[in-house]
């Protein structure tokens, strides 16, 4: 029998969650009471008025990064001391973010705590993160995150069970005081859901029947076990199809961010004359995806548009899609598909939490972000392997190479040239000044001409949730040009060092003869304009971005 301890504590002032939960350096989380304060603040802000957590289930798991183990032990002991009836944990403390969402929904849990800093590097000197997802399986709303933050600023005590380490290494049931702990296979429920959505028979034929070659890069992160199980064991892709399939606490010292710059081996295997037909990668916690064909890169914005246009080819979406949504900085490619399908298209602020209400209300079926995030109403998180399986289903049915499918799509809808320029680890006050200065000038920009371009409107994006009417302001500065091109500026809400300025640039091209340019060339004038409008070099001292995607 464990003993419940009440520990006196003092608030930390900096526990304000960003775009996706609280992300800090591991060393920050290792401070005495830091993690405990935040976890207790989650419990205090969400505890039901009558009966508390009695009869309630909490799902816990993470991407396996450094500190995952230790943090989970603490969280489980705190869940017991806060009177939860049951905790469901992934074996070895592992759950991908989409699998956690799936499990919360499937077992009708009260919610879940997911440990991840997603695509940020891991290890003792790198990043850690924690977030709370509600009963719908989705990230806490802005309102709830604000309540958790407010609680973290007045917390005085937390509760924790005094007990030995809980063994999470084996599937099965344990007991901690009055609380049951169910350790589950992290893959099984998620794999079963994927099998319901996609035509596994046809994908198996594609992967085993001929010369089709697939390469999936799990980036030493959470999707390794999922990809081994689903792509290799179940769907028959030969061993070796999954690269870097073993989750490591420091991701092998690499950056688990699925973009071309961080996936050199995958780039090599999908390039040249002997290129694999299909390549994909996922991030630290398994919610992002990058899609490649032989010698071909599919932008995340195009991928969302393509899945929307071809959705009925997958059994789970056979009856069509109700609507789509994209984050504001994501390209307008999916808008064109929605228009031609005659379905609504919603434009939300950055971050998956804004899709939850639209999904719950049945207003949308598919949604996505330019930052390698795509998902649907099957869970309430973006889902990396889901996107990979959707593409494989599509390729199996259409029998054409990735590049041909995308080019044909461009012929029909035009090509939305797109690029994102990131200026990382900029001094926070310099980044703030840049944004504030530009914000002050927005009103004067409409009607101004720059070479071939004319600014139609410029504003600071605000969003009113169509379901609950909640409002979110200052979600990114938008420069909208005549003809549909856009330049967008916003500051990242997931970094742990200084500020990251993101500049998103897009322009639409209808002429198929002009569809084969490098986006950096096609968008060169707009890129130049993006520098001049915000005086990026003046404020940041940087003449060029650190990362271009």
Count of residues touching ligand VG1 (by CB under 6 A):
18
Tokens of 286: 């398994």
Quickly count: other Cβ atoms within 10 Å of residue 497's Cβ: 12
Output 226 or 352, the one with its CB closest to ligand VG1: 352
Nearest approach in angstroms of CB 218 to ligand VG1 is: 15
Nearest approach in angstroms of CB 374 to Co ion is: 12
Does residue 133 bind ligand VG1 (CB under 6 A)?
Answer: no
Does residue 11 bind ligand VG1 (CB under 6 A)?
Answer: no
Quickly count: other Cβ atoms within 10 Å of residue 196's Cβ: 10
Does residue 502 bind ligand VG1 (CB under 6 A)?
Answer: yes
Count of residues touching Co ion (by CB under 5 A):
5
Tokens of 23: 């992300």
Does residue 383 bind Co ion (CB under 5 A)?
Answer: no
Does residue 370 bind Co ion (CB under 5 A)?
Answer: no
Phi, psi of 40 (to 5 degrees): -65, -35
- Out of Co ion, ligand VG1, none, what residue 186 binds, judged by CB under 5 to 8 A for its kind, is none
Write the binding mask 460 to 499 for ligand VG1: x where contact by CB under 6 A, - elsewhere: --------------------------------xxx-----
The residue count of the chain comes to 549
How buried is residue 518: exposed, middle or buried, by Cβ count under 10 Å (0-12/13-18/19+)? exposed
Write the binding mask 278 to 297 for Co ion: x where contact by CB under 5 A, - elsewhere: -----x-x-xx---------
Nearest approach in angstroms of CB 93 to Co ion is: 17
The closest alpha carbon to 96, from 383, 380, 290, 372, belongs to: 383
Q: How far is CA 333 from the centre of its chain?
A: 19
Which residue in the set 63, 217, 287, 506 belongs to the binding site for ligand VG1 (CB under 6 A)? 287
Residue with tokens 């006196």: 8
Determine the interface stretch with ligand VG1 among 245-253, 300-308, 367-375, 389-397 (rule: CB under 6 A).
Answer: 367-375
The closest alpha carbon to 360, from 191, 135, 142, 198, belongs to: 135
- Catalytic one among 101, 116, 118, 327? 118
118 is catalytic: yes
Phi, psi of 110 (to 5 degrees): -65, -35
Write the binding mask 409 to 448 for ligand VG1: x where contact by CB under 6 A, - elsewhere: ----------------------------------------
Largest CA distance in the chain: 75
Nearest approach in angstroms of CB 525 to ligand VG1 is: 25
d(CA 138, CA 172): 26
Output 269 or 388, the one with its CB closest to ligand VG1: 388
Sign of CA dihedral 237, 238, 243, 246: positive
Does residue 263 bind ligand VG1 (CB under 6 A)?
Answer: no
Asked whether 76 and 181 are in contact (CB, 8 A), the reply is: yes
Q: Is 183 helix (H, G, I), strand (E, B) or coil?
A: strand
The closest alpha carbon to 549, from 28, 32, 119, belongs to: 119
Determine the interface stretch with ligand VG1 among 166-174, 260-268, 299-307, 345-353 (rule: CB under 6 A).
Answer: 345-353
Sign of CA dihedral 452, 457, 459, 464: negative
Nearest approach in angstroms of CB 408 to Co ion is: 30
Output 129 or 323, the one with its CB closest to Co ion: 129
Nearest approach in angstroms of CB 352 to ligand VG1 is: 6
Output 116 or 151, the one with its CB closest to ligand VG1: 116
Q: Which of residues 92-131 bind Co ion (CB under 5 A)?
A: 118
Output 277 or 287, the one with its CB closest to Co ion: 287
Nearest approach in angstroms of CB 18 to ligand VG1 is: 6
Phi, psi of 284 (to 5 degrees): -45, -50
Does residue 380 bind ligand VG1 (CB under 6 A)?
Answer: no
Write the binding mask 12 to 31 for ligand VG1: x where contact by CB under 6 A, - elsewhere: -------xx-----------
Q: How far is CA 548 from the centre of its chain?
A: 18
Q: Decide the pairing of beta strands 172-176 and 179-184.
A: antiparallel
Does residue 46 bind ligand VG1 (CB under 6 A)?
Answer: no
Starting from the edge strand earliest in sequence, which strands make up the sheet with 499-509, in order? Answer: 449-450, 453-460, 477-481, 486-491, 499-509, 415-426, 547-548
For the chain, helix, strand, coil in percent to 5 are 35, 25, 40
d(CA 493, CA 495): 6
By the criterion CB under 6 A, which residues form the site for ligand VG1?
19-20, 118-119, 283, 287-288, 327, 350-352, 369, 371, 373, 492-494, 502
Q: Which residues are catalytic?
A: 118
By the criterion CB under 5 A, which residues form the site for Co ion?
118, 283, 285, 287-288
């Amino acid at each position: 029998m464990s003993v419940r301890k009440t520990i006196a504590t003092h608030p930390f002032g900096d526990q304000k969650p960003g775009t996706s939960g609280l992300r800090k350096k591991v060393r920050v989380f290792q401070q005495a009471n830091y993690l405990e304060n935040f976890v207790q603040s989650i419990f205090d802000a969400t505890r039901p008025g009558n009966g508390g957590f009695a009869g309630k289930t909490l799902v816990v798991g993470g991407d396996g990064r450094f500190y995952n183990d230790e943090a989970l032990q603490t969280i489980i002991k705190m869940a017991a001391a806060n009177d939860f009836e049951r905790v469901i944990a992934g074996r070895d403390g592992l759950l991908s973010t989409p699998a956690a969402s799936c499990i919360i929904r499937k077992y009708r849990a009260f919610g879940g705590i997911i440990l991840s800093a997603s695509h940020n590097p891991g290890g003792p000197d790198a990043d850690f993160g924690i977030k709370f997802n509600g009963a719908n399986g989705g990230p806490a709303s802005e309102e709830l995150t604000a309540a958790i933050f407010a609680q973290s600023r007045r917390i005085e005590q937390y509760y924790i069970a005094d007990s030995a380490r809980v063994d999470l290494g084996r599937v099965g049931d344990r007991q901690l005081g009055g609380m049951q702990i169910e350790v589950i296979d992290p893959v099984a429920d998620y794999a079963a859901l994927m099998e319901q959505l996609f035509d596994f028979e046809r994908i198996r034929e594609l992967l085993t029947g001929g010369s089709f070659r697939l390469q999936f890069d799990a980036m030493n992160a959470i999707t390794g076990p999922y990809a081994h199980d689903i792509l290799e064991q179940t769907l028959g892709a030969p061993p070796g199809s999954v690269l870097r399939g073993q989750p490591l606490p420091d991701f092998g010292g690499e950056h688990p961010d699925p973009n071309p710059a961080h996936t050199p081996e995958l780039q090599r295997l999908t390039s040249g004359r002997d290129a694999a037909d299909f390549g994909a990668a996922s991030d630290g916690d398994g919610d992002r995806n990058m899609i490649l064909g032989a010698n071909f890169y599919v932008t995340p914005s195009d991928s969302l548009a393509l899945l929307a246009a071809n959705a009925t080819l997958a059994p789970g979406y056979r009856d069509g899609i109700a609507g789509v949504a994209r984050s504001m900085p994501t390209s307008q490619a999916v808008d064109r598909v929605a228009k031609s399908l005659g379905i609504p298209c919603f434009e939300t602020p950055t971050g998956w939490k804004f899709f939850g209400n639209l999904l719950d209300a049945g207003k949308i079926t598919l949604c996505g972000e330019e930052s390698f995030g795509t998902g649907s109403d099957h869970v309430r998180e973006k889902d990396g392997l889901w996107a990979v399986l959707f593409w494989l289903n599509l390729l199996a049915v259409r029998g054409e190479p990735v590049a041909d499918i995308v080019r044909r799509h461009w012929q029909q809808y035009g090509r939305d040239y797109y690029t994102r320029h990131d200026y990382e680890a900029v001094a926070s006050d310099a980044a703030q000044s840049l944004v504030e200065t530009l914000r002050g000038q927005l009103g004067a920009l409409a009607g101004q001409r720059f070479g071939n371009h004319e600014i139609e409107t410029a504003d600071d994006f605000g969003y009113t949730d169509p379901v609950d009417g909640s409002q979110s302001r200052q979600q990114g500065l938008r420069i909208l040009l005549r003809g549909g091109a856009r330049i967008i500026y916003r500051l990242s809400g997931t970094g742990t060092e200084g500020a990251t300025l993101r500049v998103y640039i897009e322009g639409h091209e209808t002429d198929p003869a002009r569809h084969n340019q490098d986006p950096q060339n096609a968008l060169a004038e707009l890129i130049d304009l993006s520098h001049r409008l915000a005086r990026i070099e003046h404020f940041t001292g940087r003449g060029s971005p650190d990362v271009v995607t």
